[in-house]
Amino acid sequence: MSKRRAEPTEMIFDPVIRGAKRVLIAFWARREPPHVPGRHYSPAVADNVQRTMNLIMPLAHPGPETTAQIVKLLRQRADDLYSGLDNVGTVHFARFLVIDGNLQMISVFDGDIETYIRDFIASIGHVFDAALAFVKDPPPLPTAENPARFVDWVHTHDLIQMPDDLTELVDDLSLLPRSLLTLTHTEPDSQLGMYRAYAGYSAAQIRQALGLDWGEQ
């Protein structure tokens, strides 16, 4: 069956309708600020593994030279970085990216995020401090001497995460409720979801099952 062609009037008014929707959603968000979902720590151990941190850090001077300097830094300090992450002991994966003028660190870890952050800076804070020199409005340095301030800074730069069970936000998934629209307006960048091929297993359990020492990559 052939696809119906849009009438000329539809083509004219479609941008107007989209613009009106954006204005209305912005009005709703100002009138009733949305509830921003936080992280939940569960008493069930399996619920607290393979958690994510999506740290988005605007660069002070984005461009090819800054990106090249960061690449050089990470290559020069790779041994310290990898051994430090091994010492944390709860990290599944961690990677650095530069996208749209932001330095990003995306990681998957086990346990509570505050404990992870504190263990992280205790192990590789000196390497991360060097990377933060390229970031706009960095936290007080060195991070190892300002752990509480760094934890607060991370919370403000970590993307919000939509809950795995969206019914925590929306009662009826067949609808597009105002609460979800205002949340995605207020927080346009967010983690929408995550697939886990081996859900419920910690980094330590996986390494033990594979017979890997922490020094092996």
| Each residue's pLDDT tens digit, 50-93 | 999 999 999 999 999 999 999 999 999 999 999 999 999 999 99
The domain spans of the chain are 7-217
**Residue at 67: amino acid letter:** T
Predicted TM-score (pTM) of the model is 0.81
CB pairs under 8 A, 24+ apart, for 175-184?
178/28, 178/32, 179/34, 179/35, 181/25, 181/28, 182/25, 182/28, 182/29, 182/32, 182/33, 182/34, 183/34, 183/35, 183/36
- Among 188, 191, 121, which residue's Cα sits nearest to residue 153? 121
Other Cβ atoms closer than 10 A to 16: 9
Grouping H, G, I as helix, E, B as strand and the rest as coil, residue 111 is coil
| Each residue's pLDDT tens digit, 168-213 | 777 776 778 888 888 888 888 899 888 899 889 999 999 999 998 7
β-bridge mates for residue 109, sequence order: 51, 91
Q: What is the pLDDT of residue 175?
A: 74
Helix (H) or strand (E) run with residue 94 in it: strand 91-99
Distances (CA, A) of 205 to 53, 74, 83, 91, 123: 20, 28, 19, 12, 21
What does the pLDDT average to over 88-108?
97
Residue 19 has pLDDT above 70, yes or no: yes
DSSP state of 92: E
Determine the Cα–Cα distance for residues 49 and 203; give it in Å rounded to an integer.
8
Of 35 and 79, the one with more pLDDT: 79
Grouping H, G, I as helix, E, B as strand and the rest as coil, residue 180 is helix
Residue 9 has pLDDT above 60, yes or no: no
Is residue 81 within 8 Å of 87, Cβ to Cβ?
A: no
DSSP state of 107: E
Helix (H) or strand (E) run with residue 103 in it: strand 102-109
Q: What is the pLDDT of residue 156?
A: 95
